[in-house]
A and B are shown apart, each in its own frame.
Chain A
Amino acid sequence: MLQSMLLLRRFEEKVEELFMVKGALIGPSHLYLGQEAVAVGAMSALAPDDLTVTTYRGHGHALAKRVPAKLCMAELFGKETGNCKGLGGSMHVAIYPKTGSLYATAIVGSGIPIAAGVGLGLKQKKSKNIVATFFGDGACNTGAFHEGTNLIAVWKLPVLLFCENNQYAMSTPVKRAVSSPSIAERGRAYGMETIVVDGNDVISVYVAAKIAAERARSRSEPTFLECVTYKMKGHGVYDKAEYRPKEEVEKWLARDPIIVFKKKLLDGKTMTQSEIDAVEDKVKQEIEESVEFAMQGSFLPFNTIQSYVYAEE
């Protein structure tokens, strides 16, 4: 889990550097910095062939669901060697059905009805697999959220709804956008089992997700998990997030999920500092290799893009 969290963190740090310092990447890019415990805790509780429907803030979900980092990086560079051949880009980097990373949408809230359909499909086929969908606090105010959540509940579908409450929908704080005392109440309102979890503690997320996954798998019952976390940076890579109070930022940075987890591992003597350092080195190397791989790739020839619009078979 630590390796996965570090991979997510170092990947995003590299992406930020490639945007801001080197100008090598362009376009919108929504970093997952600070939310690593959610994706890693959740994915660790899923089976490798369980499915996910995530969002445009999906680099973290993709990597945690084992989409190879080099494919993700090549996708960010818009290269043919990316998992979506450069046709998707940053916001769709978590589309890689081979590892169960089924879909990533760039329209807030729209993944929830899709997850309902995937869940119904799995249930209908009597599959042992389940689907997890990830969305932010902002999504909870969309019509698609309410329609999709209701359908999931009323049809008892094997769906895990991970609401990553990172406190801000772009620059709008939850308090100014969500009428109910908590987002979790909305899950309850639809008659769903609901868990509020510390989204900066990977173990808490893992345990909650494990319980929810078991319920979905054995009884086809959905669970709404509100993971309370914090977006360390702004909405997109160019957003300096100056609208946030300094004290608030400092409070959350002190609860950095990676710092929290490292401390837990060291205090519990699960890992030594040198073992952690070794993992850091390994991750660093993987990131360097992914950038190398991405830079070497070529672009899809323009005259072939038409062939990706419609499927033939």
Chain B
Amino acid sequence: MLRDPNVILLGEEIGVFNGVYKVTRGLLDEFGPERVRDTPISEAAIAGAAVGLALAGLKPVAEIMYMDFLPICMDQLATQAAKMRFMSGGQLKVPMVLRTQYSLGRQHGSQHSQFTPAWFLQVPGIKIVLPSNPYDAKGLLKSSIRDPNPVLFIESGLLYRTKGPVPEEEYTIPLGQAEVKRKGEDITIVGISRQVGEALSAAIKLEQSGISAEVIDVRTLQPLDLKTIVESVKRTSRLVIASDDVKTGGVGAEISASVSENAFGYLDAPIARIACPDTPIPFSPPLEQSYMPNADKIVETVKAIMGK
């Protein structure tokens, strides 16, 4: 915002209230009410206004409080923003960011916890970014704001209290580059968002059992850095994908299919997906804990694949 006066924020409770999870804390005081705009509870209008702002040459960063509210503005995102450049034959550009978070693991119940990135994989024209740690959150957000396309920036609410090094100085992380978080020989674990941390914890536990796991953070699902994943699988010959969405038709299915298309001959075991069961999210804290994918479930799955 300091660098580019065209960057403007809008969303519910982002100003005076500092954001429902304080993500935008202090920004209203620093940049004023014209650049940090509290909106009515009107998700379609928030997303639509972001689209219009982008068309008018600004760089909107809109916030939708919970990922569960995205369907309310799905038209603006999926049918308007994502298709404008294409339908206009390249005349229009929509440089907007729509930030949201999912609160799985915070006892928010079925309608405030969903993680549904796969819906947007069916929408060419939009980029999907998912930071798994504070360092990436800064670098990826900067790249998203500077990107000339609509970007859906999905945060994990459960990770908001994660601490990690974030340099004060300027840096960006390109969209479309996965990161190998840990080198390994026996199996590749692809993590998405919060599951990257779980995969890293699992890898440490697996090491104690003599299994060397490679952990990859996709960082973006659209574009997906398939090359990094496929190269890893070609070395390890095994793949597990961990994500917080529902298993059927989820992001794991897409990555699995793409790896099968590109590295089937290298696989020594079926690809495994670790995801949520096909039910809405239960409120009851112990039920929710059982529902969520975690490091232990990853360990268990990997051991079964490795026959250990």
Q: Do A and B come from one complex?
A: yes
* Interface check A95, CB cutoff 8 A: yes
A114 x B87 contact (CB < 8 A): no
B51 at the interface (CB under 8 A from A): yes
| B40 contact set on A, CB distance < 8 A | 147, 150-151, 154
Whether the Cβ atoms of B125 and A113 lie closer than 8 Å is no
Q: In the assembled complex, how far is the CB of residue B98 from the closest CB belonging to chain A, in whole angstroms? A: 12
Q: Which of A82, A97, A147, A309 has the most CB of B within 10 A?
A: A147
> How many chain B residues touch the partner (CB < 8 A)?
41
Which residues of chain B come closer than 8 Å to A136, judged between CB atoms?
Answer: none
Check if B86 is an interface residue, CB within 8 A of chain A.
yes
A122/B56 in contact, CB under 8 A: yes
Contact B56 A121, beta carbon cutoff 8 Å:
yes
Interface residue tally for chain A (C-beta within 8 Å): 47
Bound-state CA distance A144–B87 (Å) is 21
Q: Are B44 and A117 in contact (CB under 8 A)?
A: no
Cα-based distance from A124 to B88 in the complex (angstroms)? 25
In the complex, A305 Cα to B148 Cα: how many Å?
Answer: 18
Contact indicator A118/B148 (Cβ below 8 Å): no
8 Å CB contacts to B: which residues of A80-95?
82-88, 92, 95
Task: Give the chain A neighbours of B148 by CB distance below 8 A.
Answer: 311-313
- Across the interface, A151 reaches (CB within 8 A) one of B49, B89, B124, namely B49
Please indicate the chain A residues that have their CB under 8 angstroms from the CB of B45 in the complex. Answer: 113, 116, 144, 147-148, 150-151
B50 touches A88 (CB 8 A): no
Contact A85:B56 (CB < 8 A) given known A113-B49, A144-B48 = no
| Alpha-carbon distance A312/B175, docked complex (angstroms) | 12
How far apart sit A97 and B57, CA to CA, in the bound complex (Å)? 12
Cα separation A75 to B8 with both chains bound (whole Å): 35
Query: A116: shortest Cβ distance to chain B, in Å?
Result: 5
Q: Which residues of chain B from 59 to 105 have a CB within 8 Å of any chain A CB?
A: 60, 75-76, 79-80, 84-93, 95
Q: Are B42 and A150 in contact (CB under 8 A)?
A: yes
Which of A107, A121, A143, A154 lies at the interface centre, i.e. has the most chain B CB atoms within 10 A of its CB? A121
How far is A118 from B85 in the complex, measured between Cα atoms in Å?
A: 16
Q: Are A114 and B89 in contact (CB under 8 A)?
A: no
Most buried by A among B49, B55, B58, B127: B49
Confirm or deny: A103 has a beta carbon within 8 angstroms of a beta carbon on chain B. yes
Q: Are A96 and B91 in contact (CB under 8 A)?
A: yes
Find out whether the CB atom of B55 lies under 8 angstroms from the CB atom of A310: no
Which residue of the partner chain, among B51, B53, B60, B88, contacts A95 with CB atoms under 8 Å?
Answer: B88
Q: In angstroms, how far is the closest chain A Cβ from the Cβ of B82?
A: 9
Return the CB mask of A147-178 against B: 1 if under 8 Å, else 0. Answer: 11011001000000000000000000000000
Which A residues lie at the B interface, using CB under 8 A?
Answer: 51, 53, 82-88, 92, 95-98, 102-103, 105, 107, 110, 112-122, 124-125, 143-144, 147-148, 150-151, 154, 305, 307-313
Given A85-B90, A98-B91, A121-B53, 14 new contacts (CB under 8 A): A83-B89, A87-B86, A87-B89, A92-B88, A95-B92, A110-B76, A113-B47, A113-B52, A114-B51, A117-B51, A119-B52, A121-B56, A311-B95, A311-B149
A-B contact pairs, 15 of them (CB 8 A): A83-B91, A87-B86, A88-B87, A88-B88, A98-B91, A113-B45, A114-B80, A117-B50, A120-B49, A121-B52, A144-B48, A147-B40, A148-B44, A308-B89, A311-B148
